Amino acid sequence: MKRTYHEFPQKPEFERKYNFRADLPYIVRTLAEMDNQFGTFITDSPDLKGRAIKAKRSINVEITDRSVNFYPLNKDSLADVLQDVKNEGTIDFRIALKYSFLDEKFDRVPFKGDSYLVRTQLENGVLTMRIHHIEGMGRTECAKIADTIVDEIKRHAPNV
């Protein structure tokens, strides 16, 4: 099954190469485990009045299917996805970040998130990641997306 998105940009905003000792199914498993994780970061308030807030950032991961659609990639869908993933090749993902913060009354307030296309290409022990911001205000840089993926890869396998 083809797992590259037909509208992936020719010139993505971010590209970096990494030495890599695992296979493509390992990357897919790592990204599936990232789904629904969250963390906090400091950003401008949604009202854009220059006030910094501590916000929550939740991650949703999707994988492309037949070059056109994206489907959720998580622990539940992982077994089905891995059936046709080869050890090397190219796979595209869509990462959606959802943001929220606590207001004065400690109510969780959601605000506009960001979406990214992530192309992972593994050949001869070299992982190339290309990332392109496709929606939102860009509160998270493309390099931060790559760093998060690499950190998760390292966390699960220190020899990678």
Is residue 33 domain-resident? yes
User: pLDDT tens for residues 30-89?
Assistant: 999 999 999 999 998 887 677 889 999 999 999 998 888 999 999 999 999 999 899 999
- Domain count along the chain: 1
Is residue 2 domain-resident? no
Q: Cα–Cα–Cα angle for 43, 31, 17, nearest 5°? A: 80
To 10 degrees, what angle do helices 142-156 and 24-34 make?
A: 110
Is residue 6 domain-resident? no
DSSP, collapsed to helix, strand or coil, labels residue 79 as helix
CB 14 within 8 A of CB 120: no
User: Which residue range is the domain that position 92 belongs to?
Assistant: 14-156
- What predicted TM-score, i.e. pTM, was given to this entire model? 0.91
Is residue 3 domain-resident? no
